[in-house]
A = this chain, B = another copy of it.
Amino acid sequence: MRPSGRAPDEMRVIDIQTGFTKHAEGSCLVSFGDTRVLVTATVEERVPPWLRGKGQGWVTAEYSMLPRATHTRGQREAAKGKQSGRTQEIQRLIGRSLRAVTNMEKLGERQIVLDCDVIQADGGTRTAAISGAWVALRLAVNKLMADGKIAVDPIESKVGAISCGIYQGTPVLDLDYIEDSGADADANFVLLEGGKIAEVQATAEGATYDEEGLLRLLRLARIGCDRIFAAQDEAVK
């Protein structure tokens, strides 16, 4: 039995509130249960130095946790003077995931920065961030197309992400904080429409799993991402 009473393949309630801030070209507040992440997409009419003059764009991401998004307060990274390894690992993952569905030639020589700030954390902040970042990116690109700055849609698929894990011997979908802390193994899947895999990060803490276990988690992730794709569709409609 899961602490939340959910069935093993049951997601938390997904909520995506678009237009959460007025300045950003795209934005949403995405919730997976009590996990809430504010994502903004900023369009910049320039690219990183190593891409200049190559006729293609770039999509990148930054991630941060507000100090009291968690049970106990964490020190502010700006005050510490550096981003943790965890933060950097996550923002690199978010960036790669969104680049996996963006055609950089069609985007043109501009950069879209996705800022993912965790307002409240209850497990799965990186996967909620990726799922919400797609919505913010979609809205920003819609705006670029409406403004006539992009002719052909550079977004080639939806992308969603979800965590799965083995909790007390049972593979479960969409771990919350309690499950995450006690899971024998957990994996984050970044999937595209049609179930194609963009990224898998599977870690066995203490335990290990076999090929069959990995596949069962992957299948759960497919169920979850179908739900996420539906919520994304609904949000940007």
Contacts and interface: CB of A to CB of B under 8 A. Distances in A.
B210 A199 contact: no
A64 B69 CA distance: 14
Dominant SS among interface residues on chain A:
mixed
A181 interface: no
A139 to B, nearest CB: 13
A24 B208 contact: no
A68 B23 contact: yes
Contact of A214 (B85, B200, B204): B200
Interface size classification for chain A: 35 or more
Interface of A: 20-24, 27, 34, 38, 40, 42, 44, 62, 64, 66-71, 73, 76-89, 91-92, 96, 100, 113, 115, 117, 119-121, 187, 192, 195-206, 208-211, 213-215, 218
Contacts of A78: 64, 76-78, 80, 82-83, 87
